[in-house]
Amino acid sequence: MTVDLRSDTVTKPTPGMLEAMWSAKVGDDVFGEDEAINELEAKAAAMFGMEAGIFCPSGTMTNQIAIKCFTQPLDELIADQTAHVYRYEGGGIAFNSAVSTRLLNGDRGRLTAEMIDPEINAENIHYPHTSLVVLENTVNKGGGSCYTLEQIAPIAELCKKQGLKLHLDGARIFNALVQTGDQAVDYGKYFDGISVCLSKGLGAPVGSVLLADKATIKYARRIRKVLGGGMRQAGFLAAAGSYALDHHVDRLKIDHEHAHILAEELAKCDWVTNVVPAETNIVLFDTEKPAEEILAKLEAQGIKANATDKHRIRFVLHLDVHPEQVEHTVKVLGSI
C-alpha cells in the first residue's frame, strides 16, 4: 500500500472531475472567450462576496499579482515570517514588485492587529511606505493553523483606518472555512484580494483564482499577461476547478479527521518528541532521531512524507488518502 502524505498537491483528478474537464466549453481566454474560465471566475467571486476573479496557473502567480496590484515600487508589505509569499515564492516580492517585506513573529503564523499596528511606518522620507498586509489562512508553515473571521476583523479595521490593502493567501481557505464554520461570502467584506488554490485539498490538477474588485482584476489581467500567464483554452483546467468547488469542499472535514487520528497516534509514539496540534489537514511533529531516518523507515512501508526541518516531519491529508491508508499509517507509526 502506498500512502502519499507529502502534500495536498499530489491528488489526481477523480472520474467526475475528468468528465467535467472533457465536456468543458472552452475558447481563447486572452480574448475573454473561454466559457469555463468565465464561469469559474464568476462562481469563485460570488462565493467569496467579491466582484471579480482571474484564473491563474498557480497560487504563486495569484499572490504575486495581488502584491503587484496593491503596492508601488519602494513600498513595504507586512507578513508573518513564515508566510508563503515571502519564503516560498522565490523572492518574487522584490523581483516582481520592488517591494520590501516587514516580517512579524505570529502565533503559528497568525498575526493580530496589535502586532501589526506598531510596524506600520510613519510618513518619513527614510522609511518605505507601508501599503499592504498579507495574511495566510490556513498557515502552511504553522501546521494548518487557522484564523476565524472574528480574529481577522480587527486586522481589516486597522488596515482600513491606516489606508493599507489587505490580501489573503487563501491557498487552503476552504480548510479554514470547514474548521471554523465561517462563511466564505463574508470574507469579501474584509479583504481587498483573496487568492484561492484549486490544486491543493480541493483536488484540481492545476490552478488558482485571484478575487478582488473589478478595477483590480482588470489590472491583474495585464500583470498576468506580462508574467506569461495568459493561457488560451485553459477552460479544461478551470472546469476541474469549478467541479472541485461544487464537490470537494465539504469532504475536507474527512481530511481533518484523518489528521486528528494521525496526530493522536503520534502523541503515543515514544520516538516522537512533540506533535503540533492538528487544526486542519496538516500534522507537524518532531522526532528524536533525524527526520531523514524516520522518513526512510516510513518509505519502506509505503508511506511518503517530507521533512520540514532536521527533526520535523509534515503529514498532509488530502482526497487521495482513504481511511484504509490512514489505518495502515497508524499501524506503521505504532511499529517504529
Ligand X SMILES: *Cc1c(COP(=O)(O)O)cnc(C)c1O
Contact residues for ligand X (CB under 6 A)? 58-60, 63, 84, 136, 140, 169, 171, 197, 199-200, 208
Smaller CB distance to ligand X: residue 131 or 145? 145
Rounded to 10 deg, the angle between the 35-47 and 235-247 helix axes is 30
Distance of closest approach, residue 80 Cβ to ligand X, in angstroms = 11
Rounded to 10 deg, the angle between the 323-335 and 252-268 helix axes is 10
Instruction: Using CB positions, name the residue nearest to ligand X.
Output: 59
Smaller CB distance to ligand X: residue 207 or 332? 207
Which residue's C-alpha cell is 469532504? Answer: 251
Distance of closest approach, residue 205 Cβ to ligand X, in angstroms = 11
Distance of closest approach, residue 85 Cβ to ligand X, in angstroms = 7
Smaller CB distance to ligand X: residue 272 or 317? 317
**Distance (Å) of CA 138 to CA 81, 194, 204, 233, 282:** 15, 13, 18, 31, 10
Helix (H, G, I), strand (E, B) or coil at 34: coil
Distance of closest approach, residue 119 Cβ to ligand X, in angstroms = 21
Distance of closest approach, residue 84 Cβ to ligand X, in angstroms = 3
Smaller CB distance to ligand X: residue 314 or 332? 314
The amino acid that residue 155 corresponds to is I
β 282-287/272-276 pair status: antiparallel
CB burial class (10 A; 0-12, 13-18, 19+) of residue 214? exposed
Smaller CB distance to ligand X: residue 108 or 200? 200
